[in-house]
Copies of this chain bind each other. A is one copy, B any other.
Amino acid sequence: MPRYAYVNGRYLPHDAAGVHIEDRGFQFADGVYEVVTIQGGRLVDEAGHLDRLGRSLGELRLAWPMDRPVLQQVMRQLIRRNRVRDGIIYLQITRGTAARDFRFPEAATPTLVMTTRRMNLDPARQVAAGVDVVTIPDIRWKRRDIKSVALLAQVLGKQQAAEAGAFEAWQIDEEGMVTEGCSSNAWIVTGDGRLVTRDASTMILNGITRQSILRLAAEQGLQFEERAFTVDEARRAREAFLSSATTYVMPVTRIDGRPVADGKPGPLSRKLRESYRSYAVGAGAS
């Protein structure tokens, strides 16, 4: 069975799917994206991801390439064609193709690309062991709240993590506070059992999974604070974890090579992972 990609109205064999060399996504990183998880054939947090897509588009004054319900139909069609039960759907929208000029083109049709990928959403060994993170300076631009494809800093950060044998790199701002991972949000559990994650601002991307975890935590009566924390506080924390659409809640057991607490995934991280998984499998999905 061939794998299809959706590009500007057409379902194409993945290998043959292209965009023009003067697509503004290719020349200027002038575009946005979303990654939505597919769990058991269902989209997880679909509304949240599409809301954020709308926000990113708005911040860049990009139009929806089609009405949102139609876009949702295309997503479903592609998932069906590619028979994805567990995995992701990736959506990218750019300002379209136009003769190269930094300024917005007078008339360009937005480019819409979608791909899917099958993925194991429950990497049991990784979850059981937890993952390592390293810390790096946050060198990104100042509009991290926009989920744009200008991801070069994150590419370099993730590569640096990989070369250090780590799963993720936590980025540190000029005040020494953790902003977030290169493709995930950062969390700790304090000595008195409070969940802490950075408050949403232009300094971080407000993760959809992050928001769902906060909602689940509130429903369960857990104490949480949205505030910045230092690497030092994270190292001394009772637990640490990261969150993203594909990793859900993933325990962090080492930071820069040093164990967090006893170096094992903590109970609250495990509990939140299970809560989120239940939510993803069940009621939260469409």
Residues of A within 8 A of B (CB): 5, 7, 15, 17-30, 33, 60, 90, 92, 94, 99-100, 102-104, 113, 115, 117, 137, 139-143, 148-159, 162, 182-183
Contact = CB atoms under 8 A, between A and B. Distances in A.
Contacts of A149: 26-29
B27 A103 contact: no
B155 A30 contact: yes
B102 A159 contact: yes
Given A141-B140, A153-B141, A113 B21 contact: yes
Q: Would you call the interface of chain A mostly helix, strand, loop, or mixed?
A: mixed
A281 B15 CA distance: 45
B26 A25 contact: yes
B30 A26 contact: no
B28 A26 contact: no
A33 B90 CA distance: 26
A23 B25 CA distance: 10
A143 B136 CA distance: 14
Contacts of A99: 117
Nearest to A137: B142
Given A26-B23, A140-B141, A103 B158 contact: yes
A102 B19 contact: no
Nearest to A99: B117
Contact of A21 (B21, B27, B115, B140): B115
A58 to B, nearest CB: 13
Contacts of A33: 27
A117 to B, nearest CB: 7
A15 to B, nearest CB: 8
B152 A148 contact: yes
A158 B60 CA distance: 13
B150 A139 contact: no
